[in-house]
Amino acid sequence: MTQDVNIHSHGRVGHISLDRPKALHALTLDMCHAMSAALSDWAGDEAIEAVVLDHAEGRGFCAGGDIGMLRDSALNDEGKSGRKFFHDEYQLNHQLFTYGKPVVAFMDGITMGGGVGIALPCKYRVATENTRFAMPETGIGLFPDVGGGWHLSRLQGRLGQFLALTGARLDGAECLWAGIATHYLPADKLAEAKARIIEHPDRIAGILSELAGTPPKPRIEGNLERINRHFASDSFEDILASLEADANGTDGEWAAKELATLRTKSPQTCKVALRQLANAKDFTDFADNMRQEYRIASRVITRPDFAEGVRAVIVDKTGDPAWNPATPEGVSAELIDSIFAPLPEDEEWVPL
């Protein structure tokens, strides 16, 4: 058992509490394995009726996955240990998605990347005034994985494509409005919510509704029409051209800001994300989505953009990644095809 996640039960409720505060509870492989094992145990335990998923302390629910380890793998073992991490993390995402008992995720604080992957499959997803949700992977040459293709492609209009490409952050009110969260509670009500759920695991929906707060007006709602218009295409070049054409028009300030944001992202992974979401929208089985994302992850981790993006954004913090290919036009359809191609049969992703 890893010390980075606390696992116990209270009466009829299983409790998983992420406890790696210095890393904002970013997931390690050991943490994923510990969570999967607990969920497997509770699945067959008739005494456990529901599961609470939260974090022990600090300002993050979960900031993502173990990016340092992934970059180290890309540079030193040809991505082998990185692929193992993705494979087993995706098994945890799928396990949560198909879990037979209700799971309540308390997304109080930073919920990004790997944190999104463990929160969004849950039946109940509680946001607060502290929630900061994002899938910022295109900024480091990665892509919105951990089920992001499935979840983002099912948001209203082109909101998912906008979030995948720009890495925009949503607050708790915006998460509720978008359907990313099922409930919005003031952070000072969370302890009471958990205590009452432990007492009455058969009344989760009612308890969360009774304690729900009134969120502020979601800011992003005012931009949805612009998002739907400018991000309408599955072609990255079309999206850039649309924003460029309006940079001096009616949406000038907004269009120019989003255009500047997109210019900092990996062109390769922006194109990957658009195809990922377009494909995922048609999947009827979450396992098919995870199989696709594992194929992508297996290729992208050893492509130049990932190690370079992590260097520029996280390691050196210079913010000057040299993307390769450097332009959207340089990212060929053949390259994208190769990233999405099936793996050899004995290397494909499989559920637990």
pLDDT at 59: 83
pTM of structure: 0.97
Stretch 326-331: mean pLDDT:
98
Query: From CA 160, how far away is CA 143, in angstroms rounded?
Result: 13
Task: Using pLDDT thresholds of 50, 70 and 90, give the confidence band for residue 234.
Answer: very high
- Residue from 270, 267, 264, 246 nearest 256 by CA: 246
Q: State how far the Cα of 33 lies from the Cα of 102, in Å rounded to an integer.
A: 20
pLDDT at 248: 78
**Chain centroid to CA 7: how far?**
23
The pLDDT value recorded for residue 80 is: 96
Which of these is catalytic: 4, 89, 108, 137?
137
Q: Are the beta carbons of 346 and 288 closer than 8 angstroms?
A: no
Catalytic residue among 4, 108, 145, 251: 145
- pLDDT of 1: 56
Distance CA 88, CA 298 (A): 13
Q: Establish whether 114 is a catalytic residue.
A: yes
Q: What is the mean pLDDT of residues 4-9?
A: 97
- Active-site residue among 65, 79, 109, 309? 65
Distance, CA of 219 to CA of 151 (rounded, Å): 21
pLDDT in tens, 88-137: 999 999 999 999 999 999 999 999 999 999 999 999 999 999 999 999 99
Closest CA to 139 of 118, 113, 165, 163: 165
Residue 195: its H or E element: helix 190-199
Q: For this structure, is 345 an active site residue?
A: no
Average pLDDT over residues 301-330: 95
pLDDT at 2: 74
Number of domains forming the structure of the chain: 1
Report d(CA 166, CA 169) in Å as an integer.
9
* Phi, psi at 133, each rounded to 5°: -100, 135
Provide, rounded to the nearest whole percent, the portion of the chain with pLDDT above 70: 100
Q: What share of the chain is helix, strand, coil (3-state, %, to 5)?
A: 55, 10, 35
Tens digits of residue pLDDT in 276-314: 999 999 999 999 999 999 999 999 999 999 999 999 999
E strand segments, the chain = 5-10, 13-18, 50-55, 60-62, 103-107, 110-112, 124-127, 132-134, 170-171, 183-184
Of 60, 113, 114, 117, the active-site residue reads 114
Residue 90: the pLDDT is: 98
**Tokens at 125, concatenated:** 């997803």
Residue 115 is part of a domain; what is its CATH number?
Answer: 3.90.226.10
Report pLDDT digits (tens) over 249-281: 777 899 999 999 999 999 999 999 999 999 999
Task: State the residue range of the domain holding 251.
Answer: 1-352
CA 98 – CA 192 distance, rounded (Å): 28
Specify the pLDDT at position 38: 98
Where is pLDDT greater, at 284 or 68? 284
Residue 214: burial class (beta carbons within 10 Å; 0-12, 13-18, 19+): exposed
Indicate the SS3 state at residue 39: helix
- Asked if 114 and 135 count as a contact pair (C-beta separation under 8 A), the reply is no
**Residue 57: pLDDT above 90?**
no
- Would residue 145 show up in a list of annotated catalytic residues for this protein? yes
